[in-house]
Amino acid sequence: MSLLTAAVRVIQTLLPTTLLLAGLSVAAQSAAQQPSLATKSMLTVPAGTRLSLVPVRQISVKHTRPGDKVYLQITLPVTAGRQMAIPTGTYVQGVVDKISNDRHTHVLSMQMRSAEIIFFNGYTAKIPGPALAEPATVGMVVTAIAVTDGTVLNVGTPMEITLAAPLFLEEETVLAAIQQGTVASANAPSQTAQPPQKICWTPSTPATADTIIPATPAVIIPGTPAAFIVGNPPIMIPGTPQQIIPGSPQIIIPGSTGTSATPYPCYK
């Protein structure tokens, strides 16, 4: 009976300590989980927002294949409410799915499998799809007015991406990227692609044919025979030998091969 009483007393003594340790353990677990449960302040760029951008590298309509990467750059800042969300100069990297060109309207549509915004500090955010330009397709669609004959998108060609869904950005990270970009811009000239130049063409020149001066034949002047005058002694009048005046060979003056029209940048 005394053993039972002692055991009960031990349990009563240890129980508060056990409960305290259990409470501390739960509190520690809650504290460890708190950061993951805490929601970060987010910036929301609403659906329908248009991102104005330009290529930073030339894009060939004929030679660009599905899976190729394209590199673009934001030319106008994008805001979320009163807060700057995407500053000018921010890059966009996309993976091409297909390119279609309407030759009647000269509007080129580039559909991308994926696209992401790359901020100055390396923070990336995927652009949601599908785009409003082609709601029946999956992915983003970038539309632009083609330059020259529509086979090349030159550096600086104006383009647009229309957001089909809201774009969510971490506010603190975006602010850090804007500050970093401001410092970089102050220390270096802007790398934003410049507006495209017009394309002019030098006129072509036609080929000219060879000029042929015909050969002239040789001129033969016949000789005259000797003449004899009968007498004593007879008198001989010598004849004249045959004379040949050489003719001239054929002369060929080569013509020109002509030149084709060549493009060059210009303003007009």
Taking every pair of C-alpha atoms in the chain, what is the biggest distance, in angstroms? Answer: 196
Would the pLDDT of 214 be above 50? yes
Would you call 114 exposed, middle or buried from its count of C-beta atoms within 10 A (0-12, 13-18, 19+)? middle
- The pLDDT confidence band at residue 144, using thresholds 50, 70 and 90, is very low
In this prediction, residues 226-239 reach a mean pLDDT of 83
Query: 42-196 architecture in CATH?
Result: Beta Barrel (2.40)
> How high is the pLDDT of residue 184?
67
Q: Give CA angle at 31 (25, 37), nearest 5°.
A: 130
Closest CA to 89 of 190, 194, 195: 190
| Measured distance between the N- and C-terminal CA atoms of the chain, rounded to whole angstroms | 111
Q: Where are the domains of the chain?
A: 42-196, 211-266
Instruction: Kindly report the three-state secondary structure assignment for every residue of 125-165.
Output: EECCCCCCCCCCCCCEEEEEECECCCCEECCCCCEEEECCC
- Whether the model clears a pTM of 0.95, i.e. scores above it, the answer is no
By C-alpha distance, which of 170, 117, 110, 107 is closest to 140? 110
